[in-house]
Amino acid sequence: MKYSLLSNESNESDNTGIFDKKDVFCGVLTLRRLLRMSLGDKFTSGYRGINAFNSGVIKLLVARENDWIEEKLSAILTQSPRIDFEPLIASIVFGRTEGKTSLFKNVECIVPGCSFKIDHTHNGASVSEYIDWNAISYKTLPHDPAEILFQSVSEVVNRNQGGYFVVRLSGGMDSTGILLSLMEAVDVSRIIAITYRYLMGTSNQDEVSARHLCKIFGIRQIIIDFEPHSLFHRLPSPVPPVLNMRTINFKVYEEERKRIGSICVDNYTLFDGHGGDHVFCEKIPFGIIKELFFHGSLLTSCRKLLQIARLHGINMKDVLFMHTNSMHYLITEAQCYFSKDVIKNLHYDRKTVSEERKSALQEAIIDNGTSLTLSLTENDIFPFTDQRMIGYGLKLRVEESFDTTSKRLQYRKAINDRYKFVFTRKDKGHITGAYQSALSVNKDRVINLLRHGQFATHGLLNLEGVERAIETSSHGIGGVSFILMKLIAAELIFEGYL
């Protein structure tokens, strides 16, 4: 059956959705492993469920009358779903927010690590998606993050006897920690490191650091050049309706699979280190100084204020206004991409340190969970969003995670104590230049994608600002905006349904 994202009957004044006025949807991958459900099962008011951490599947629930039903993904393509723009725009500007992962109304996507409950309303039944922090924090955990990492990695190794183990190795703290854990769990002859590089940017430092590690440890390494022409292609097939940034460069993962397969066919497990910076507090919560002042001691708060100032190379006054300045910057940047009506409705609530930490952990969980929607990376393993690691991050003492020169002190110490390995690399490689080159190579393609996409069709974009940003970035000026990349990723997903 043919289907389209825009219906001739859509109300142009309704910027909350697309298609006709139908609110019925289909679609789903299953959680049989955990809940032992079959397709077509109904979830009525009061039902609670969970998608286990690292379950490897995404669950889509679809509204049907007064119930929510689980069905195949293909069913959603025969219906007329409406985009839920409000939470999508908020996640594009401020980061992923708890409660809504699906891009569509009346469809809920439950990613690994998330729970859900069915509530009865006067309009029928609604689904609340959330992370059960109480259940996570209740468990007794090792105090040593290196031990937690080793447990997570070794359990995967024990389940996959006889195969190869591949780690995306940048030479940074997270991927190096995984490599060290793998070397403790399995012989190095079964370990392969894969490293990406873009010679015109700082990501070439990834190659230098990773090559050094592979040389001293005797690890086989694959180097893949990050080619600008590999980005922004149309998806070969539709993916579940969640914002997945890997849709931008899925052809890179095609090359990755091809290169790994030339060595070990399909008999391998791939580890990805995304999430470590979230767990170990790479981003220091804005409210830490204020909370230390009111709930700790004046001396401690002053000492930490000075440490943050020296760590970031700014004065102490700027530290105190970091939250205000950051939010002002985000709103200012958003004005370049969205219409005035959208900007007028954007708001961001100030969070406590605990809430900021939960938001950071949640972002890692959802980032890694939504990456599973791309078939090329659906078998990736993410040790840093293992439930035990998330539990450790939830209890991490933020004020003890940094000093005047370094962050993530607990993790650094744990790796050093266990492996006698000291992290010396301070910079972090970036492939910004590759994205800028890709925008230059594919400028017409990207502009047309956004100019005729769903955001523009519903009057939500500042098209002049969008095209100016693309033009500027394509000339290598000012980096690449995360907002722009997320807009492109969303439109690539919508394009896949046409």
The confidence band for 323, taking pLDDT boundaries of 50, 70 and 90, is: confident
pLDDT digits (tens, 9 = 90+) for 59-82: 888 887 777 888 777 887 777 788
**HSE value, Cβ hemisphere, 13 Å, CA-based, for 221:** 23
Between 74-88, 104-118, 210-224, the lowest mean confidence (pLDDT) is in 74-88
CA 440 centroid distance within chain: 25
Please write the tens of the pLDDT for every residue from 166-201.
999 999 999 999 999 999 999 999 999 999 988 776
Evaluate if pTM is beyond 0.85.
yes
- In sequence order, which residues have a C-beta less than 8 Å from that of residue 197 and are 6 or more positions away? 203, 204, 206, 207, 223, 224, 225, 226
Least confident piece of the model among 34-38, 357-361, 372-376, 436-440:
34-38
pLDDT, tens digit (0-9, with 9 covering 90-100), for 258-281: 999 999 988 999 999 999 999 999
Averaged confidence pLDDT in the chain: 85
Alpha-carbon gap, residue 54 to 65, rounded angstroms: 31
Parallel, antiparallel or unpaired: strands 115-121 and 191-197? unpaired
* pLDDT band at residue 366 under the 50/70/90 scheme: very high
Could you tell me which residues come within 8 angstroms of residue 235 by beta carbon, excluding any fewer than 6 positions away?
A: 247, 250, 492, 493, 495, 496
pLDDT of 203 over the 60 cut: no
pLDDT reported for residue 32: 32
Per-residue confidence band for 143, with pLDDT thresholds at 50, 70 and 90: confident
pLDDT at 427: 66
Measured over the CA atoms of residue 346, residue 351, residue 354 and residue 360, the dihedral's sign is positive
Please name every residue paired with 126 in a beta bridge, in sequence order, or none if there are none.
Answer: 119
In the chain, % helix, strand, coil (3-state, to 5) comes to 50, 15, 40
**What confidence score (pLDDT) does residue 302 get?**
93
Residue range 18-64, pLDDT digits in tens: 333 333 223 333 333 333 344 455 666 678 888 888 788 888 888 87
Is the pLDDT at 495 greater than 90? The verdict is: yes
pLDDT higher than threshold 60 for residue 349: yes
Nearest to 210 by CA among 202, 219, 201: 219
Place of tokens 């440490």: 307
Give the C-alpha distances (Å, rounded to integers) separating 268 from 166, 188, 372, 444. 7, 14, 17, 38
Say whether pLDDT at 434 is over 70.
yes
pLDDT of res. 34: 35
CA-CA-CA-CA dihedral for 74, 77, 82, 88, to nearest 10: 50
Residue 459's pLDDT is what?
96
Nearest to 209 by CA among 158, 259, 178, 173: 173
Q: Which amino acid is at 334?
A: A
Q: Which of 375-379, 407-411, 465-469 has the lowest mean pLDDT?
A: 375-379
pLDDT of residue 419: 97
pLDDT at 36: 38
In this model, does residue 325 exceed pLDDT 60?
Answer: yes
Lookup result for tokens 């195969």? 163
Angle at Cα 11 formed by Cα 485 and Cα 128, nearest 5°? 60
Main-chain dihedrals φ then ψ at residue 218, nearest 5 degrees = 70, 40
Mean pLDDT check: name the lowest of 9-13, 147-151, 287-291, 396-400.
Answer: 9-13
Q: Which residues are within 8 A (CB) of 477 and not within 5 positions of it... i.e. 6 or more apart?
A: none
Reported as a pLDDT band with limits 50, 70 and 90, residue 13 is very low
